[in-house]
Chain A
Amino acid sequence: MAKIANRALPTLAIFFGVLGHFVSFYLHFFTVGFIVLTLLNFYLLRGQKTHALLHNFGILAQARYILESIGPEFRQYLYSSDTEERPFNRVERSDVYRKAKGIDSSAAFGSQREYDATEIKLRHSLFPVDHDQVEKFELRFGEERGIKNIHTITKPIMISAMSYGSLGSNAVRALARGAKKSEMTMNTGEGGYPKYHLMEECDLTFQLGTAKFGVRHENGDLDESKLESLCENPFIKMVEIKLSQGAKPGKGGLLPKEKITDEIAELRGVGKGYDVVSPAHHSECKDAASTVKFVRKIQEVTQLPVGIKLCYGQKEEVRALLSEMIKQNIFPDYVSIDGGEGGTGAAPKGFMDDVGVPLFAALPIMRKFINEFEIENKFKLICAGKLINPTKQFMAMSMGAHACYSARGFLLAIGCIQALQCNKNTCPAGITTHVPRLQDGLDIELKSDRVYNYVKALEKEHLDLLAAIGKRKYSDLSPGNLFMPTSLLEARS
């Protein structure tokens, strides 16, 4: 095939050259086209060795690269089945879209999942509870320490950490406005001073990342006065110390100097003209003891509920951390377990794919430790990791979580099409991009309504599920509500 193409190009150039001369000069448009292709083909075959395929087969091999580059779109729209894609398949995404648009999200005929006892399922009750007997959700952070600034949430779900930088300003504001309308708490992410989050006046959890963006001295050390002054803002309700993240546990980050605009430099509190490194861990947290001390320090500086976020990794380390909390009698106000399946704007593929324990394996172990150490009443347990639909959230809460975080669920709600371009500044939905033309398509008011609709639909389904399981309140949920496949039980033991 390639041989034929390589010979056909000069032949066609000559053929149209003759026709152009004797029939019509217009035919020389083809002559020129084939001459250019012939010259290009000659260069590929004889003039370069960077691409072996192009060197061996010529211009026809270029089709392979073109097809490969458009493959994701073809697979997403034409060839992949409704239950095939990752991280979220079309069925899962459509469910969020319908909820966000406030349209009927019922399905017909039967489940598209493999109903073969390899998945976790919820066990219903023979005697469901009436809806009016179900207690409304409420969770109070900081009550264990008896602090003045207790933060109460009334939704079992919160918007997980997404900072300005990874998201564009319109997306941040749409989510924050949606959070405000839904009376829900949103996490700012570690991207520094939350200028755009604060514009919408919703309840916020300020995330303190390893680089201390927004509350740092220029050398990267924590600037306590900046943190204290930020936490005096009435909309900052909690602080979360990020120890590790599900998508890239144990890995820091790099903010290249090219991406540091005047605004980013100001919000993050960094200088311009050099790369800024986010360390893999907080400089204050070298072991369990120093980590616990750091938690206390942040609690004292901020006077707010302070949580820690971690991806479950090594069993002994987590045990040691909990033991140290007991030893020092210092506890965070919540612990957020981020499953290894968590998402991010950009991370090395190996870390995303293979580092960190998945949520539904980690959560029961964490709950087991908490029961073993008898520290159930010392802090709240939150979790995150692909929890975009109510049944998954319910499973997590049955495994011991008090509330859930979701980031990508809310991105889908505001129009994410899973184009997988979050790290390229080319997001076609205008979410993870700073290109004004792309952001223009994201209407803040309209998308904030989508967030509100999504939360409302989640709440309704939560209520239905709680009633169907036969419970009157969330605190009655337990692992007994779950059908656990044998493989997962074995992995946990």
Chain B
Amino acid sequence: MRAVVLWILQILSAVLLMGPAWSKITSSSNSIELFQTLGMEPYGRFIIGIIECGAILCLLLPKMHSIGALMSVSIMIGALIAHTTHLGFGDNPMGIMMVVNLISSSLILYLRKDDLLNE
């Protein structure tokens, strides 16, 4: 049961990361605009896009799930900071997706805490 729940959460977090990662890597106009506002265009966009791709891979690879979840939590905290301080949330569902992903990744981390902490 625990394994099923974990896989659902891992797939959910990975799927939620795919859209933002794709738009950053492919230089979508929306993404360029956001990173221009943050003063991180283009390097910051590519760095964060690559980190997001790494998190997706780790979330789905055996023995790397907890690392992936840790990366995902970090990305979501960064995104929350960006949207809270500079970008705002507007009308799009991005804010909800971020919160869902943060909760999902945090749950993965909690359930897999023994993988991260040395005995």
**Could you list which residues of chain A lie within 8 angstroms of chain B, going by C-beta atoms?**
17, 20-21, 24-26, 28-29, 31-33, 35-36, 43-44, 48, 51, 54, 62, 65-66, 68-69
Contact = CB atoms under 8 A, between A and B. Distances in A.
A25 B85 CA distance: 10
B82 to A, nearest CB: 7
Interface stretch (B2-10, B11-19, B22-30, B71-79): B71-79
Contacts of A17: 81
Nearest to A33: B74
Given A25-B38, A36-B74, A44-B117, 12 more contacts: A17-B81, A20-B81, A26-B40, A31-B78, A32-B77, A33-B74, A36-B73, A43-B113, A54-B117, A65-B117, A68-B118, A69-B118
Interface string B33-56: 000001110001000000000000
A35 B77 contact: yes
B119 A65 contact: yes
A425 to B, nearest CB: 14
B118 A65 contact: yes
Contacts of B85: 21
Interface string B76-119: 01100110011000000000000000000000000001000111
Which of B39, B40, B44, B118 has the most C-beta atoms of chain A within 10 angstroms of its own C-beta?
Answer: B118
Interface residues of B, number: 17
B118 A62 contact: yes
Contacts, number: 41
Contacts of B86: 25
A32 B117 contact: no
A62 B118 CA distance: 7
Chain A interface mostly: helix
B81 A31 contact: yes
Nearest to A68: B118
A74 to B, nearest CB: 16
B40 A25 contact: yes
Contacts of B113: 43, 48
Nearest to B78: A32
A94 to B, nearest CB: 32
A194 B30 CA distance: 65
Contacts of A20: 81
Contacts of A66: 118
B67 interface: no
Contact of A25 (B44, B70, B73, B119): B44
A26 B44 contact: yes
A32 B81 contact: yes
A68 B38 CA distance: 42
B78 A28 contact: yes
Nearest to B114: A50
A25 B39 contact: yes
B70 to A, nearest CB: 7
A316 B86 CA distance: 86
Contacts of B119: 65
Contacts of A24: 39
A65 B114 CA distance: 13
Given A54-B117, A62-B117, A28 B74 contact: no
B97 to A, nearest CB: 18
